[in-house]
Amino acid sequence: MAQNSKPADAVTPRLGKPLKRSFFNRSVHEVAPDLIGATLLVDGVGGIITEVEAYHHLDPAAHSFRGPTPRNRVMFGPPGFAYVYRSYGIHWCVNFVSEAEGSASAVLIRALQPTHGLPAMRRRRGLQDERALCSGPGKLTEALGITIKHNELPLDVPPFALHARLGNADIAAGVRIGITKAVDLPWRYGLKGSRFLSKPF
DNA sequence: ATAGCGATGTGCT
DNA sequence: GCACATCGCTATA
């Protein structure tokens, strides 16, 4: 065994340029597909975003649809901040606030292809299977250590780091998963053909 | 492969 | 009370 050999897990792809907060100051329907292929890291642990969903403030499925509450208030602030909420009393889910301040729109991050900090993710998830580490919104927050402590934090400042995707991506779109309102809107976006999705498109 | 179910915080009626 | 932007386990095929 050569001394300088590394496990496949340790291979870390080149990163694109850091995303500035202004990246999110656009329509949520532009931001969401542009996030596919970007890299999300929290304290250096994370991977390539493979699946997201857009939630617009006029969309009945959005948490902001009925106005501000203590839970969703960050959605009503400026873009480029994290909205973390508890799902089904058990899991954390993370969104990126988008559009102009007060528009209360956000992008739910649903799946990643793990690339950085695989040992930490495996430890937090209690799993080995790379494909299962971040293949769902509750799974990826557990793998990256995202909790309510990350709510309202800016996305261009540590512990968060976002890097734009390199080159083009083949983007698939489909209906959103697990919702009961506005079920027909095709606002789920993903990396076509990726093995790291919560469900195939 | 698909179905049922339990875990339970936050917001709604 | 009830619904919900979920997940992992169990049972059945």
Host domain of residue A61: 19-191
Looking at the structure of chain A, the number of domains it has is 1
For A3 and C10, how far is CA from C1' in angstroms? 45
pLDDT score at A10: 54
Residue ranges near strand B (C-beta within 7 Å): A 66-67, 69-72, 85-90, 148
pLDDT tens-place string over residues A141-195: 999 999 999 999 999 999 999 999 999 999 999 999 999 999 999 999 999 999 9
Question: Mapping DSSP to helix (H, G, I), strand (E, B) and coil, where does residue A179 land?
Answer: coil
Q: Are A45 and A144 in contact (CB under 8 A)?
A: yes
Nearest amino-acid residue to B7, taking CA and C1': A90
Domain annotation covers residue A199: no
Q: Is residue A44 part of a domain?
A: yes
**Residues A95 and A72: beta-carbon distance below 8 Å:** no
Nearest Cα to Cα of residue A108 among A153, A144, A75:
A75
Residue A201 lies in a domain: no
| Within a domain: A10 | no
- Cα separation of A178 and A133, whole Å? 19
Q: Which nucleotide is nearest to A63 (CA to C1')?
A: C5
Provide, in whole angstroms, the distance separating residue A88's CA from nucleotide B7's C1'. 8
For residue A128, give the CATH number of its domain. 3.10.300.10
Question: Tokens at residue A165, please?
Answer: 């995707």
| Å between CA of A166 and C1' of B5 | 43
Structural domain includes residue A168: yes
- A62 forms bridges with which residues in the sheet? none
- What residues contact A73, with CB distance under 8 A and at least 6 apart? none
Q: CB under 7 Å from any atom of strand C: which residues?
A: A 53, 55, 61-64, 83, 87-91, 93, 95, 106, 108, 125, 127, 132, 136-140, 176-181, 198
A1 found inside a domain: no
pLDDT digits (tens, 9 = 90+) for A11-52: 567 899 999 999 999 999 999 999 999 999 999 999 999 999
Does the residue A11 lie in any domain? no
Does a structural domain hold residue A119? yes
